[in-house]
Structure 1
Amino acid sequence: MSDPERAMLLSVHPRFATAILAGTKTVEVRRQRVAAPPGTPVLLYATAPTMAIVGMARIASVQVASPGEVWSASRTSAGISRREYDEYMTGATSASGLSLEEPIAFDAPVPLAALRTAGAFHPPQSYRYLSGEDLRRVAAAAPGIEAALTGAVLAASAE
């Protein structure tokens, strides 16, 4: 990573965010290629109706392959049925399986409204990278998570 403070903001349905933070879902699948190195901090944005950053995790590894290969490798860890997976992957030629570790649920989720008071904030459709400035805005919106963010960023930049 050229920016040692870079982290990923990942939009997920609330039920998947809950499962990731509980440790029962350890692989998040995406329809496109994701190129993030191991150790990258991931902030979890739970989509509507929650609309808040609810916690974070760290990327352990990323598998980029065909949808069938990603399913074979992640079916017991993805937290979805084969039917849901196939519906989601319809038309995709490539898929990514993001193995996540070290989930941390925030005591108080950071709501979208609070994120927007700290500056322009737009949750991604799938994911996007956050710069150090973006992370500082998130920390400003929710001072209670600053220690977790700082720890994640420092750990990622030390790797």
Structure 2
Amino acid sequence: MSENAIISIRPKFVQAIVSGVKTVEVRRRIPPIEVGTNLWIYATLPIGAVVAVAVAAQIFRGSPDELWSSHGHNAGIAKEDFDSYFQGTSAGIGIELALVREIFPVPIKHLRSMRVGFNPPQVIAKITSAEARFLEDFSRFV
């Protein structure tokens, strides 16, 4: 059975993921996920809801230069912004997103009924299979 996690992403990047322009999510911190993990995409404020789900098809680790040269064209970010984001770090991660599906938004108030005290993760937070079923049941695919 696949693992499940919620990942927080800014709305402009969520739109790029849903539209297929952005297929690699880059991160400074290496989240504890594996290939095949279902990533429930939480669009940060002003949206404040889980709005899509994708599968972590591949995970790439390397220096910012290595990540840019091999995956920058799929990261949906300008080189200057990429460099600024990775400034001061020697390693990062790229997560190839596949099977992206937009879902009916699951707002924060419903996420808090899924898990008492739920707060959107800074990076990625694992969720249980029961919590993933809650998201699946709540949302209808559009």
Q: Deviations over 1:97-130 (max 9, x none)?
A: 0011111001x21111121133321110111211
- Identity, in percent, stands at 33
Partner of 1:76: 73
Superposition CA RMSD, Å: 1.9
Q: TM-score, normalised by structure 2?
A: 0.89
Q: Distance in 1 between matches of 2:139 and 2:25?
A: 27
In the TM superposition, what is the alpha-carbon distance from 1:96 to its structure 2 partner?
Answer: 0.2
**Aligned equivalent of 1:103, options 93, 100, 103:** 100
* DSSP-derived class of the 1:44 partner: strand
Count residues in correspondence: 141
Q: Distance in 1 between matches of 2:83 and 2:74?
A: 15
Q: TM-score, normalised by structure 1?
A: 0.81
Partner of 1:119: 115
Q: Distance in 2 between matches of 1:114 and 1:12?
A: 18
* DSSP-derived class of the 1:144 partner: coil
Between structures 1 and 2, the one with greater helix share: 1
Does the CA contact (< 8 Å) of 2:6 and 2:39 recur in 1?
yes
Structure 1: 5+ residue stretches without partners: 146-159
**Aligned equivalent of 1:45, options 42, 48, 52:** 42
Alpha-carbon spacing, 1:44–1:143, altered in 2? closer, same or farther (3 Å):
closer
Partner of 2:88: 91
Q: Distance in 2 between matches of 1:39 and 1:118?
A: 23
